[in-house]
């Protein structure tokens, strides 16, 4: 915190951050950007899965417009801070993000096979032959999905 800044224009000091401060600010602002992207996605997409139902938010047109304007203003502040403190842009590698999502998913599935369910009480003997192969199949398919999405594109029509 001993750094005062550098002269940006005659008589004006440009604030400076040391490397640790810059990194901390960058991480916090990237997390904010990530959350804003996720919120925008949640505002735009419904999900009608088998066990997960996520309807679109119940927002009036005015609420939606105000929320988008507020998020736009937040992004402007992030851009201003990024420029003022010369923050580096981080390029997220989607394959790593996908792998990060899949890892805890297969781990949580392994914790609900019949052997682990005994921790919640006696398991009906008819459960293991039905549940355990399905859990094993799901874990295998998650591993396969991760492998498929990590592999380099093989055709000329890459999206």
Mean pLDDT of the 120-134 span: 96
Tell me how far apart the alpha carbons of residues 143 and 100 are, in angstroms, rounded to a whole number.
Answer: 12
Task: Note the pLDDT of residue 155.
Answer: 60
H-type helices in 5-158, by residue range? 19-44, 61-84, 94-110, 114-117, 127-150
Q: How would residue 11 be classed by pLDDT, with cut points 50, 70 and 90?
A: low
For residue 7, what are the β-bridge partners?
13
Q: What is the pTM of this model?
A: 0.71
> Are 90 and 97 a contacting pair, CB within 8 Å?
no
Three-class DSSP category at 13: strand
Which two three-digit tokens encode residue 93? 């590698």
> pLDDT tens, 29-85?
999 999 999 999 999 889 999 999 999 899 999 999 999 999 999 999 999 999 999
Triad 108, 110, 112: Cα angle to 5°: 80
Q: What percent of the chain has pLDDT over 70?
A: 86
Q: Give residue limits of the domains in the chain.
A: 6-84, 94-150
> pLDDT tens, 71-118?
999 999 999 999 999 999 989 888 888 888 888 998 999 999 999 999
């Amino acid at each position: 915190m001993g750094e005062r800044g550098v002269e940006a224009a005659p008589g004006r000091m440009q604030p400076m951050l040391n490397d640790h401060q810059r990194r901390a600010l960058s991480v916090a602002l990237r997390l904010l950007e990530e959350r804003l992207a996720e919120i925008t996605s949640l505002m735009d997409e419904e999900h009608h899965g088998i066990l997960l139902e996520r309807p679109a938010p119940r927002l009036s047109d005015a609420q939606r417009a105000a929320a988008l304007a507020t998020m736009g203003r937040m992004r402007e502040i992030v851009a201003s801070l990024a420029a003022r403190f010369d923050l580096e842009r981080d390029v997220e590698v989607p394959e790593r993000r996908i792998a990060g999502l899949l890892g805890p998913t297969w781990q949580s599935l392994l914790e609900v096979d019949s052997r682990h369910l005994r921790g919640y009480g006696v398991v009906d003997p008819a459960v293991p032959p039905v549940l355990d192969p399905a859990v094993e199949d799901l874990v295998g398919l998650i591993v396969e999905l991760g492998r498929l999405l990590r592999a380099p594109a093989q055709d000329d029509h890459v999206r």
